[in-house]
């Protein structure tokens, strides 16, 4: 292996596995695809969600240390 290849590999490992890189705060977001279907999921006029499914997604994301983000989709896209 040439010196250039060795240097490139060394830089790659230093950039990807250094403590500096691991200290960067990446937001942890759980994206949940949803389709309003009362009483499981109800969307209010201001766009907020409530209902059984919303409570479950919020609870799961909180336990896992994530922020929950709902994305409305059609039933076909959810399956």
- Domains of the chain: which residue ranges? 25-78
pLDDT at 64 exceeding the cut of 70 = yes
Going through 25-66 in order, the beta strands assigned E by DSSP cover: 29-34, 42-43, 49-50
pLDDT band at 44 (very low <50, low <70, confident <90, very high): very high
CATH code at 25-78: 3.40.190.10
CB 10 within 8 A of CB 4: no
For 38, residues 6+ apart whose C-beta sits below 8 A from its C-beta are 51
pTM: 0.55
The residue among 14 and 51 whose pLDDT is bigger is 51
Q: What is the mean pLDDT of residues 25-44?
A: 85
């Amino acid at each position: 292996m040439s010196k250039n290849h060795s240097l490139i590999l060394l830089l790659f490992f230093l950039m990807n596995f250094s403590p500096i890189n691991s200290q960067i705060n990446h937001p942890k977001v759980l994206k949940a695809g949803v389709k309003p279907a009362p009483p499981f999921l109800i969307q209010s006029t201001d766009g907020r969600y409530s209902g059984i499914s919303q409570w479950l997604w919020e609870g799961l994301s909180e336990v896992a240390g994530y922020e929950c983000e709902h994305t409305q989709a059609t039933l076909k896209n959810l399956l």
